[in-house]
Amino acid sequence: MKVLVMGGTRFNGLALVNELYKQGHQVTVLNRGVTEAPLPKAVRRLVADRNDAAALKAALGNEEWDCVQDISGYNLPQVRSLVECVKGRVGHYIFASSTVTYAATRILPIRESSAVDATPRQNEYARN
């Protein structure tokens, strides 16, 4: 499967990229190129800031993917911009976040409907 991973060089993203690669998928990572990461040599890396729609479109070109795994979207405009860029050229779009967006709780599992942490310590990542 041909997979585009948005982010892919830190924490969950790097683990995802490595697992996809181990399973034999053709993996492309798109990020700002700021963080060095021990990506497998066969993993292609595209560089663009997802906040710059023109740069994002240029980096993605007209390429098609079976799946886009978006783990670096912090707010709705970023997600919308990416979705528009790949519209009609992707089989599946998967957005994944982390539990840091949710209020502290001892009730597990945390669900999408769980309370969001809207305290000042959280930024746009937790609120949108």
In the predicted model, what is the mean pLDDT of residues 38-53?
94
pLDDT-derived band at 123, boundaries 50, 70, 90 = low
Task: For residues 92 and 106, state if they share a domain.
Answer: no
CATH code of 11's domain? 3.40.50.720
Task: For residues 57 and 79, state if they share a domain.
Answer: yes
Task: For residues 65 and 126, state if they share a domain.
Answer: no
- Please check the confidence at residue 103 and state whether its pLDDT lies above 50: yes
The domain tally of the chain equals: 2
How far is 103 from 115, CA to CA, in rounded Å? 6
Higher pLDDT, 117 or 42: 42
Task: For residues 63 and 109, state if they share a domain.
Answer: no
Domain of 121?
A: 102-128
pLDDT-derived band at 122, boundaries 50, 70, 90 = low
Task: For residues 111 and 63, state if they share a domain.
Answer: no
DSSP assignment of the chain? -EEEEES-SSHHHHHHHHHHHHTT-EEEEEE-S-S-----TTSEEEE--TT-HHHHHHHHTT--EEEEEE----SHHHHHHHHHHHTTSEEEEEE---GGGBPP-S-SS--TTSPB--STTS-HHHH-
Task: For residues 82 and 122, state if they share a domain.
Answer: no
Tell me the percentage of the chain whose pLDDT exceeds 90: 60
Task: For residues 18 and 67, state if they share a domain.
Answer: yes
pLDDT-derived band at 93, boundaries 50, 70, 90 = very high
pLDDT-derived band at 126, boundaries 50, 70, 90 = very low
Other beta carbons within 10 angstroms of residue 118's beta carbon come to: 11
Contact 43, 21 (CB under 8 A): yes
- Please check the confidence at residue 104 and state whether its pLDDT lies above 90: no
Task: For residues 68 and 109, state if they share a domain.
Answer: no
